[in-house]
Chains A and B, each alone.
Chain A
Amino acid sequence: GAGVSQSPRYKVTKRGQDVALRCDPISGHVSLYWYRQALGQGPEFLTYFNYEAQQDKSGLPNDRFSAERPEGSISTLTIQRTEQRDSAMYRCASSLPGQPNEQFFGPGTRLTVL
């Protein structure tokens, strides 16, 4: 079946602009996660949802970052007033209920803030 999909795959924006990154999880996966990955490092947790409820947002760097999953399926990660330090690969993952350690990752969105 289809895996986790993310869009856009690449996003170039100017400093100060808002961006919205989209994640479409695997059908039937109630848990959805957002990570950020810098070059040469492992993914860094940002936030996660069970269904539409945001369970943990402790990894969001500051209040410019927010995420939602209003219908328990597609999720959007929004970064307001982007800064150059926000440039990174943003990855989404999903998992089946009860299997949080086996997450399926999407291809990521490469964000570049000029």
Chain B
Amino acid sequence: ETGVTQTPRHLVMGMTNKKSLKCEQHLGHNAMYWYKQSAKKPLELMFVYSLEERVENNSVPSRFSPECPNSSHLFLHLHTLQPEDSALYLCASSPTGDFYGYTFGSGTRLTVV
């Protein structure tokens, strides 16, 4: 266990479903991130929250909606996804200004059918 917990580990959803991915950290970090890892592609940064405020949205489609209710929790709400959205979704957290503390969760393997 790395200190960043993601649930569920695996998710299969239809294109008309609505689901949410959850990320939780109790490391005292102030920044949280969502990354997407597709096959044969680099890890892509999706969203960044620093001190619970969204500081970056890397042109992610609106069918992905993040929520950061507090510094320990991060959600990714999913609706009307496409099969090409199937990927490994990784959450990470970091103390501000410290790369050494950048910690990833184990990811949620999402399959859209």
Do the two chains belong together in a single complex? no
Q: Which residues of B contact A (CB under 8 A)?
A: none
